Amino acid sequence: MLDELLVAPECEPVRKAASAALGQDIAQWWGALDDRQIFLNSNAQFAIAYYQVATWARIAPLLPEIGMVAGYSLGELIAYHVAGALSASETFRLVRERARLMDEAAAGINAGDGCMVLWRGRVSPAALAARDRAIAEHGLDVAIERRNGEEVYAGPGAAIARFVADLNALNPGLVRLPVTVPAHSHYLAQAAASFRDILAASSITVPGIAVLGAVDAMPVRSREAAIDALSRQIVTTIRWGGCMEALAESGIDRVIELGPGNDLAKLVGVEHPQIAAHAVGDFRDYRALADWLQ
């Protein structure tokens, strides 16, 4: 996932900033991770952050004026870098702090592995009623609202396992996610409170471009609102469907997903076909973005 971005000359400043935050060369760090370690929360978050910040460094010079920025989960923090409110160095430092706090909160409840599950697909009203009962019974939270009833639930790994066992026959489309923290749930309340303090002491500034708050799909245009949004989203449902609607209502006609992957670009395309949406990875060469945008 990171190999090309670790050697690209235009990403060298990002590599230096990431290495400084890690306390070691990021290429050596990445190369030493095994298949299990890659999915540990702190490693996964830092790897995704590097991918997104480095990809942004590559494509930013190719882009026209940007109307709005939005971010999904960790991506909301990266959005403030894109919007000019955070340097790369400060972004990587905050990514590490955020992951550390989330890991500490998860350890306090013995969260285990597989702490999130994706619910999707058409099911009967009876299955939906059974789902809602199981969510309450197992103490899960709605972590992310995506589209048309597609949702992600979060909770301790053992509770997620019981939920999947109870509901799998009613919805074979359930997908347990390899996530080691119950993100965007009440289980991370202490992490959210501590991260608010860290953000308040950080160098985050007023974003130069409006950033959509993921929990309410409202534009963030002040430092105080940014701090509130980035801390609240750790413990509150992300309403991604609302963010997509806000993009459409604002007259956005083209969307670029930094990645990795193109899941969010596909969601936008399905929900709002009037918006042309692509991920950077959809192009064989990232420089082809310039041709697409003309």
Segment 131-157, tens digit of pLDDT? 999 999 999 999 999 988 899 999 999
Report pLDDT digits (tens) over 88-110.
Answer: 999 999 999 999 999 999 998 88
Domain CATH number, residue 217: 3.40.366.10
Q: Are residues 39 and 154 in the same domain?
A: no
Tens of pLDDT, residue by residue over 4-40, are: 999 999 999 999 999 999 999 999 999 999 999 999 9
Residue 223 and residue 203: Cα distance in Å, rounded? 10
Among candidate residues 1, 9, 22, the one with its CA nearest the CA of residue 92: 22
Q: How many domains does the chain have?
A: 2
Same-domain pairing of 99 and 144: no
Q: With contact defined as beta carbons under 8 Å apart, do 145 and 184 qualify?
A: no
Q: Please give the mean pLDDT across all residues of the chain.
A: 95
Regarding whether 129 and 7 lie in a shared domain, the answer is no
pLDDT band at 236 (very low <50, low <70, confident <90, very high): very high
H-only helix segments in 10-114: 12-22, 26-32, 41-59, 74-82, 88-108
Beta bridge partner(s), residue 239:
145
Res 291: pLDDT? 86
179-192 residue pLDDT tens: 999 999 999 999 99
Assign residue 166 the CATH number of its domain: 3.30.70.260
Tokens 């298949």 identify what position?
Answer: 35
| CA distance readout (Å), 16 to 170, 210, 285 | 49, 28, 24
* pLDDT value for 293: 84
Identify the DSSP state of 228.
H
CA distance linking residue 278 with residue 288, whole number of Å: 12
Tell me which of 126, 160, 177 is where a domain ends.
177
* Domain C-terminal end among 131, 146, 177: 177
Element (H, E) at 126: helix 125-137
Task: Tell me the sheet residues that pair with 256.
Answer: 278
Q: Are residues 68 and 90 in the same domain?
A: yes
Kindly tell me if the per-residue pLDDT of 294 is higher than 80.
no
What residue numbers bound the domain in which 141 lies?
A: 116-177
Residue 87 has pLDDT above 80, yes or no: yes
Q: Are 262 and 125 in the same domain?
A: no
Last residue of a domain, one of 137, 154, 177: 177
Using CA atoms, how far residue 150 sits from 118, 136, 167, 234, in Å, is: 7, 18, 15, 20
Per-residue confidence (pLDDT) for residue 186, from 0 to 100 = 97
pLDDT, tens digit (0-9, with 9 covering 90-100), for 162-182: 999 999 989 988 999 999 999
Q: Give Cβ neighbours of residue 138 (< 8 Å, ≥ 6 apart).
A: 155, 159, 160, 162, 163, 166
